[in-house]
Amino acid sequence: MNIQDYKGVFVFAQQEDNKLAGVSLELVGKAKELAKDLETEVTAVVLGSEIGDMAKKLGRYGADNVILADDPGLKVYMTEPYAHVLTQIIQEKKPEIVLYGATAIGRDLAPRVSARVHTGLTADCTGLEVDPETKNLRMTRPAFGGNIMATIICPEFRPQMATVRPGVMQRIHPAGESSAKVENYKVELPEESFNVEILDIVKKVSDKMDIQDAKVLVSGGRGMGCPENFQLLEDLAAAFGNGATVSSSRACVDAGWVEKDRQVGQTGKTVRPNLYIACGISGAIQHLAGMEDSDLIIAINKDEYAPIFEVADYGVVGDVTKILPAFTEQVKRA
């Protein structure tokens, strides 16, 4: 393998029902930064059916080129056809970096493609940068239960591949117009790619806002005492109005008090709201990994030495069951 032959930063732009995943837009922005350091271009690759209008959006978010692999066989995600087409594109175009969102689809697809093109994959990254001397990609991810951050390089193989956690990279402000060059890739899917048939897709309908979209998160931990006390968090979120919702630590998810999709942290979601209110949360490193980049953090904890106070901008030492109702009243009055 001559690694000098590999050029450009590729992003697998994930779409479902013709809607681009937020993480893909975040990755295009990050790819732009990496491409600048490598003096190269960003290419977004979209697979699907009737996906033409994705190209403009990707261009506005920073893609220099968009490859559209448009075929009825790619309408819904299936491992084999997607892995087949993406592998072909990578083998033909030889990018030096390929990024995927660490979503259910990205986590399924990326290892299969990396094995087929005989390269490595760093999963679940939280940081990416170009080494100024070697120009290798430095991929950072939590390791050993989040107790250390490991930086991984792939110096001898190309492309360098990573899945990246949703929410950790920031989208760039979109341009008014797209100037991306669009290529319609000729898809050839062999019969044996369709060894699985999708009979039905059942979507979970939730009336709650996704915690990654919230401007204000009122987050509860084991210190809330019982699931019934989560109503105090709901009341505070309601007082803030639209854009506010309730999230939690893993302890409460494991105890069955709240749904898994509310979990913030290393094995939950990474959030970056304007305001994060941590209630009865100790501040374990795995929890902090998911929320410490919030704009403003308020912590309520009865233990004045709780580690959450080290990342909090404002702290209240006291019992959540007493402080939360008073806090809610104040917010209602404001």
Site residues (vs ligand FAD, CB under 6 A)? 145-146, 221-223, 225, 249-251, 263-268, 280-282, 284, 286-287, 290, 300-303, 306, 319-321
Cα–Cα distance for residue pair 37/32, rounded to 1 Å: 9
> Considering the complex, what minimum distance in angstroms separates the CB of residue 247 from ligand FAD?
10
> Considering the complex, what minimum distance in angstroms separates the CB of residue 325 from ligand FAD?
13
Q: Say if CB 235 and CB 328 are below 8 A apart.
A: yes
Helix axes 79-93, 104-116, angle to 10 degrees: 50
Rank residues 127 and 225 by Cβ distance to ligand FAD and give the closer one. Answer: 225
Rank residues 237 and 281 by Cβ distance to ligand FAD and give the closer one. Answer: 281
Rank residues 27 and 299 by Cβ distance to ligand FAD and give the closer one. Answer: 299
> Considering the complex, what minimum distance in angstroms separates the CB of residue 265 from ligand FAD?
2
> Considering the complex, what minimum distance in angstroms separates the CB of residue 302 from ligand FAD?
4
- C-beta contacts of 48-54 below 8 A and 24+ residues apart: 48/15, 48/18, 48/74, 48/75, 49/73, 49/74, 49/75, 50/18, 51/15, 51/18, 53/18, 54/13, 54/15, 54/18, 54/20
> Considering the complex, what minimum distance in angstroms separates the CB of residue 310 from ligand FAD?
12
Rank residues 193 and 266 by Cβ distance to ligand FAD and give the closer one. Answer: 266
Residue 217, CA distances (Å) to 114, 222, 296 in order: 37, 16, 11
> Considering the complex, what minimum distance in angstroms separates the CB of residue 18 from ligand FAD?
31
DSSP 209: P
Rank residues 25 and 297 by Cβ distance to ligand FAD and give the closer one. Answer: 297
Rank residues 74 and 224 by Cβ distance to ligand FAD and give the closer one. Answer: 224
